[in-house]
Amino acid sequence: MNLNTIKPDGTKGAAVKVNNEVFKIEPNEAVVYQAVMQELHNQRQGTHSAKSRGMVKGGGRKPWRQKGRGVARAGTIRSPLWKGGGTVFGPEPHSYRKRMPKKMKQLARKSILSYKASKGEIFIVDEFIQIEPKTARFYEFLESMDIQKQKILVLPEEVGKNIRLSVRNIYNVDIKKAGSASTYDLINHDILLFDKPGLLSLNENLSN
């Protein structure tokens, strides 16, 4: 399968040959769903916590005598019925981490890449070369492809200083190293903008 490239001046460049097993498969929606949920679960800190009656300060003695006051009996001020008392079945810190086989993770990314390739949502530039970081120049490049209003993920092989500074002030553009992009990163953006080395690197990684 061949994907067209775009030169930095906006003109059409030479096509890049990629593996059909990466960019031209039948998307597996079930695996994509599992991969996205796994990644979102693994981002959760799981630090939520509430004090039970055994953790609340106080309650060393009985608040009042058992009988004779005409009110309900009470054994401790740490009771969940009291203001400032412990919480019944409150949240406790725990891990939300989920595991997933490596082949399933790869299949999920292949499915997203194949889907976006079929929809024409993958753009490839020869390489991101800029002598100085200029947001306006990069925005003009996006305008030349008429994608400036969509949510874009820039995927170079290496995130250089100039390209990072060029895109950081554009609200709808994110940047990530091509080899580090997760399933959620790929599916959460309308357009994937690779440089040629980044695309070939990802193609090779997912082909193995």
The C-alpha atoms of residue 151 and residue 203 are separated, in whole angstroms, by 23
For each of the domains in the chain, give its residue range(s) and CATH number, in order of start: 2-44+97-207 (3.40.1370.10), 46-95 (no CATH)
Q: In the structure, what pLDDT confidence band is assigned to residue 4 with cuts at 50, 70 and 90?
A: confident
Look at the block and give the residue holding tokens 């995130």: 159
User: Which contacts qualify for 170-176: CB closer than 8 Å, 24 or more apart?
Assistant: 170/135, 170/138, 170/139, 170/142, 173/142
Q: What is the mean pLDDT of residues 177-192?
A: 93
More confident residue, 6 or 186: 186
Average pLDDT in the 1-7 region? 81
Band the pLDDT of 122: cuts 50, 70, 90. very high
**pTM, entire model:** 0.82
Please compute, for residue 192, the number of CA atoms within 13 A of its CA located in the half-sphere on the CB side: 32
What's the CA gap between 10 and 84, in Å, rounded? 65
pLDDT for 171:
93
Distance CA 84, CA 146 (A): 59
Mean of the pLDDT values across residues 176-195? 93
pLDDT tens track for 79-98: 999 999 999 999 999 999 99
CB–CB of 30/53 below 8 Å?
A: no
For residue 200, give both structure tokens.
């070939």
Extract the tokens encoding 172. 């709808």
Of residues 9 and 140, which shows the higher confidence score? 140
Residue 130: what pLDDT? 64
User: What average pLDDT does range 87-111 have in this prediction?
Assistant: 94
26-57 pLDDT, tens per residue?
Answer: 999 999 999 999 999 999 999 999 999 989 99
Report the C-alpha gap between 2 and 196 in whole angstroms.
12
The reported pLDDT for the residue numbered 185 is 94
Q: pLDDT-based confidence at 114, cuts 50/70/90? A: very high
- Token pair 């990684």 is found at 205
Cβ partners under 8 Å of residue 110, min gap 6: 21, 22, 23, 25, 206
Is the pLDDT score of 10 beyond 70? Answer: no
Does residue 78 carry a pLDDT above 80?
A: yes
Q: Residue 25 in 3-state DSSP?
A: coil
What distance in Å separates the CA atoms of residue 51 and residue 88, rounded to the nearest whole number? 9
Grade residue 189 by pLDDT with cuts at 50, 70 and 90: very high
Q: What is the mean pLDDT of residues 180-193?
A: 94
